[in-house]
Amino acid sequence: MTHTIQPNNPETTPAPESTDVPATVSSVPAAAPAGAGSAVPAALKRRIPKYSDLAPLMQFKKPEYSKEARLRRASTVWELRDIAKRRTPQAPFDYTDGAAEEEITLRRARQAFLDIEFRPGILRNVSAIDLSTEILGKPSRLPVGIAPTGFTRMMQSEGEYAGSQAAEAAGIPYTLSTMGTASIEDVAAAAPNGRNWFQLYLWTDRDRSLELIERAARAGNDTLMVTVDTAVAGARLRDVRNGMTIPPALTIKTVLDASYRPAWWFNFLTHEPLTFASLSRYTGTVADLINSMFDPTLTFEDLDWLRETWKGKLVVKGIQTVEDARRVVDHGADGVILSNHGGRQLDRAPIPFHLLPEVKQAFTADNTDAAIMLDTGIMSGADIVAALALGADFTLIGRAYLYGLMAGGRAGVDRTLQILEKDMARTMALLGVSKISELTPDHVRLLNK
């Protein structure tokens, strides 16, 4: 039987039975003057503090200035970026941080992740959060991998070795760039148990492209990522202003810049000279290299050739329209990467995060199981969760990883991945989901698209 318990409301409590008090005499005592006779709670009475009360508060910590302490204090990727900027010469930092022309695309890509509203569910069991997923036929402990980045040892001397080893430890894929500063074979040796992918720029010289493809296969790379948005080099004006060359040139400006970043220059000068490990030795500007080497005549027929040549998984990076996403799948791609090259090629390019729902809808209509991946603008685990909710199967980070690398080498990359993992787990718990498959478009609303 259910019992209803009425609250004790002093305004409705019945009066006590009569005690023969005359009707003309009130039974309610007169109100005391304000403050008169009021009891002060013991906790609010002034007293002299005891040493035993103060002792627990006087635990002064010794200042820590080690790399580990510095990285541990960073709670966001943006804070790692601040550390990276202090520790890296301007030219390589700006190469990472900058984008093409007025950098409008990069700003819009980052703003896109801010212009959302999460829509949480409540009263769900989120005591255990599972961030694991499957991408291109194999498991990944997190729904994020490391994107290909060129000249990585210029950012910090551990370069691709730090990235591949951190990815191996985290149980996620690592992608080596054609323009990397560590060879395919050396990266495979540095992270023998990691899942290594290789990013390919198709050259005008197809024999040299074929050589790279064969080396990647022999080294155990299971996925080939072909980048298709670099017919010519974008106008990266920060690099032009800084006179950025490969390798960095020692000028009066760079020497002055080095005077308060000695650790970077010590590492740079005492390790093996920078070279494009997958290419022959090259010196000159980045734009000159791209314009002299990469093929502006690339077409979908070349994608057919790649599909016939490469026996592993094939993904196409640089997709910026729904039509092109569908076409590359028709030509044999196992997945697409919605990307505008981090805003580093065409300024005012489409924003991958905005394009994502349309591509997901098209692939669902086509009944294709091709993977949808996304990069550009990701700076937090919440960004990754938003992308997954709107239909991405996987995400890739470039700048976020490089900020960690510049901030502290391998330990900095580890810290980046730790921050992202913690962000993702917290965001999913607050959304009321315990695994990635439970995320749906209902969890995210685009505010200003």
Positions marked active-site: 341
> Which amino acid is located at 161 in the chain?
Y
* Contact (Cβ atoms closer than 8 angstroms) between residue 142 and residue 132: yes
* Contact (Cβ atoms closer than 8 angstroms) between residue 175 and residue 225: yes
Burial, 13: exposed, middle or buried (Cβ in 10 Å; 0-12, 13-18, 19+)? exposed
**Calpha distance 89→410 (Å, rounded):** 19
> Which amino acid is located at 189 in the chain?
A
**Calpha distance 154→274 (Å, rounded):** 7
- DSSP code for 357: H
**21, 114, 352, 376, 380 from 110: Cα distances, Å:** 78, 7, 10, 8, 10
Cβ neighbours of residue 1 closer than 8 Å, sequence gap 6 or more: none
Burial, 302: exposed, middle or buried (Cβ in 10 Å; 0-12, 13-18, 19+)? middle
* Contact (Cβ atoms closer than 8 angstroms) between residue 284 and residue 275: no
* Contact (Cβ atoms closer than 8 angstroms) between residue 236 and residue 100: yes
- Note the helical H segments in 225-321: 237-242, 252-258, 262-270, 286-293, 300-309
* Contact (Cβ atoms closer than 8 angstroms) between residue 116 and residue 386: yes
What is the token pair recorded at 423?
Answer: 């962000």
C-alpha torsion angle, residues 280, 283, 286, 288 (rounded to 10) = -90
* Contact (Cβ atoms closer than 8 angstroms) between residue 346 and residue 235: no
* Contact (Cβ atoms closer than 8 angstroms) between residue 101 and residue 239: no
In three-state secondary structure terms, 197 is strand
